[in-house]
Chain A
Amino acid sequence: MNLPVFLLDLLCLPLLGWALYTALAARLRGLRRDYLWCLVVVLALRIFNDISNVLYSSGISAWLENYEDYVGLLLPVAWGLLLLSLVQHRARRQLERSEERLSSLLDALQEGVATLDTDGVFRFANPAASRILGVLHGSLPGQPLTSFRQPLPQHDHCPLTFNGSALPALHYELSLRRPDGSERSILLSTSLMPRKPGLRLCFLRDMTEQRQAEQSLRQAEAKLGQTQRMEAIGTLASGIAHDFNNILFAISGNSQIALDSEGLNIDARESLREIDTASRRAADLVSQILSFSRREQRSSRDLAVLPIVKEVLRLLRSTVPPQIRISLEHGGDELLVHAEPTDLHQLVMNLCTNAIQELARDGGELKVSLACAEPPAALLAEGRLRPGPHCRLCVADNGGGIDPGARPHIFEPFFTTKEHGEGTGLGLFVVNGIVERLQGRLELESSPGSGCSFTIWLPLASSLTAEDGNAPDRLSQRGGRGRLLVVDDEPAVNRVLALLLGKLGYEVSTFSDSYRALSEFQTNPERYDMLLCDISMPGLRGDELVRRIHAIRPELPVVFCSGNPEVLAAGTTDELGIRSVLKKPVDKSALAEAVAGCFSDQAD
């Protein structure tokens, strides 16, 4: 008996037995592996060999030795099968994991992935593709892509079946209709699948939100561009207003002086009136442009709207042809809004003037209505208006209406559909600007041939103390006696002022240089009864000149006469004790009123 060999073989048995038990127990616990039976066979053959060896070594029996030779041949074969089945199992597991990973990716993708056959029928679709097309996941295979197609002519060039299409890749965007009726803008990209003839891989991306966002962005850009254009116009207007009004004042002033002359023939007088009218229209134009360059705090107050509307209509009735009927509807409520009187005046005037010009050819009716009303929900949803009662001003006519092509542009500056010379293209531009400034909303309803209606919603003022925005014009030509110091950097303006004031009975000393004027005043401070000066002047500005003169004679009354009074900082007129601010081109009567007012205050 070979004892070491016997012991070695004996030791093998419990190890192999334990291994066999482990394998069988795992199988009984439910572990299903193909290689498990190969392992059991290997272990069983090894146990058979070891038992045979133990029995042979111990000399108990040698009968198993006869079989061991043949069983031993099976052992390498069993080993080989075990290794191969392990490799196969490993490969299968890898394939399963790969499929699982691919499936997870396709499920997690936000982009639709599908395969289509040559007839455009879905063969496979991931959940995102089903979601994009609005169908339940799993129901898409078998459905043709054409069942979602919108019958739109612009999609005729977009193929939805691929018979005979050898194009490797196709990309196009089209509008598809979901089963629930909603329309989606879908970007479709298809390409031929390698090794899969007759199938195309298809990517679907829902572009609806992106297209809506792009549309919003384009609108915002257009609005920004419009705002920038307005800003540029405002800046330009502000820059030229002063000089331009000086020129206009020289024109209108001289024409007024000439009109007062005796011995003019009728034609010359008519020409002078035309010059005066034209210069006033030019001044109105500058004033309208300037209303956009005002960036400083304006002196708004709570105003009753109805008296202003009535005043404007009263003015218009006297000028419109008889074939145009004007009517006003109002509930009699005292509607107060926080605004400047000129703004409200301009709003109503511009809208009514537009309507009258439209009705001028064939006649018709201009309806103005004023009411306290709640804005519609659609307007409130825009967030521009707050819930609650608003002042609703509606100006409607039954004329030809606005051409749909012109509608997007009607609020642009200098856009006009009128004949050359009839309109400036600033009316609606100004109206829109005023409404925006008053935090209101402007609505337009129009269709060609059935008239046009502008509805303005303005927030009501909380204050109950209203001022009548239409203080009656106090036209007077009061003359007077006194000596005026007139300072303006424009000699033509100085000349006009000297002539106008001279005709009213005043003694006038004019200066184009503000430093020279100051020097003159310092020399003879008691000689002058009043100072009339421009604001924007080279060298010493008007406000600074007033400060220095008031340092010598604080009680001297001062009137500013400027082409652009808005350049003056808010509160400066009160600080300097300015009696009046006149805007060039100033009317003769307004000039007389302002100067006479100063002298009457002095007398009081």
Chain B
Amino acid sequence: MPQEHEVITLILGLGVMLIIIVQRRQLAQLRHALLLLSACAVSLAAWSFTVLEDLLPGLPFNLLEHTCYLASALLLAIWCRKHLAAEERPA
């Protein structure tokens, strides 16, 4: 059975997804928005795999979860570099 904090994390993650859907037009105008939103989506996928790992034991959800964490970290790092560099450039 999935643990309680894992389910709450997933629900909060879905709340984040709701924010993305509602504010999609504004978010899409951010610099390198695809990198940021992909990092967020991959994080949500990782939280989903955490729950699924408990529901469907035997499948490699744990490996997928940590792969998603790595992808999310990579995308977030690239976005930080690109976005902040652009923000620091004089207009």
List the interface of chain A (C-beta within 8 A of B).
Answer: 2, 4-5, 8-9, 11-12, 15-16, 18-19, 22-23, 26, 29, 31, 33, 39, 42-43, 46, 49-50, 53, 69-70, 72-73, 75-77, 79-80, 83-84, 86-87, 90-91
Contact = CB atoms under 8 A, between A and B. Distances in A.
Interface residues of B, number: 36
Contact of B69 (A12, A22, A69): A12
A31 B29 CA distance: 20
Contacts of B34: none
B40 interface: yes
Contacts of B20: 83
Contacts, number: 106
B74 A31 contact: no
A22 B29 contact: no
B59 interface: no
Given A73-B12, A87-B26, A29 B88 contact: yes
B84 A86 contact: no
A19 B81 contact: yes
Interface in B1-38: 3, 5-6, 8-9, 12-13, 15-16, 19-20, 23, 26-27, 29-30, 36
A79 B9 CA distance: 12
Given A19-B81, A29-B88, A70-B5, A90 B29 contact: yes
A308 to B, nearest CB: 82
A80 B27 CA distance: 12
A246 B63 CA distance: 127
B45 interface: no
26 contacts: A5-B62, A8-B63, A8-B66, A8-B67, A9-B66, A11-B73, A16-B77, A22-B77, A22-B84, A29-B88, A33-B87, A42-B76, A46-B73, A50-B69, A53-B66, A73-B5, A76-B9, A79-B16, A80-B12, A80-B19, A83-B27, A84-B23, A86-B30, A87-B27, A90-B29, A91-B26
A22 B12 CA distance: 27
Interface string B71-90: 01110110011001001100
Contacts of B84: 22-23, 26, 31
B19 A84 contact: yes
Contacts of B15: 76, 80
A76 B12 contact: yes
Nearest to A42: B76
B52 interface: no
A25 to B, nearest CB: 8
Interface of B: 3, 5-6, 8-9, 12-13, 15-16, 19-20, 23, 26-27, 29-30, 36, 40, 43, 47, 62-63, 66-67, 69-70, 72-74, 76-77, 80-81, 84, 87-88
The dominant DSSP class at the A interface is helix
A4 B70 CA distance: 12
Contacts of B62: 2, 5
Contact of B88 (A4, A31, A50): A31
A43 B76 contact: yes
A39 B12 CA distance: 17
B73 A90 contact: no
Contacts of B27: 83, 86-87
A160 B62 CA distance: 78
Contacts of B16: 76, 79-80, 83
B77 A75 contact: no
A79 B12 CA distance: 10
B76 A19 contact: yes
B77 to A, nearest CB: 4
A79 B40 contact: yes
B80 A11 contact: no
Nearest to A88: B26
Contacts of A33: 87
A15 B77 contact: yes
B88 A26 contact: yes
Contacts of A49: 69
Nearest to A9: B66
Contact of A75 (B30, B43, B88): B43
A69 B5 contact: yes
Contact of A11 (B6, B43, B70): B70
Given A19-B81, A23-B80, A83-B20, 19 more contacts: A8-B67, A8-B70, A15-B77, A16-B76, A19-B76, A22-B84, A26-B84, A26-B87, A46-B72, A46-B73, A49-B69, A73-B9, A73-B12, A76-B12, A76-B13, A79-B40, A80-B15, A83-B23, A84-B19
Nearest to B44: A76
A15 B74 CA distance: 6
Contacts of B67: 8
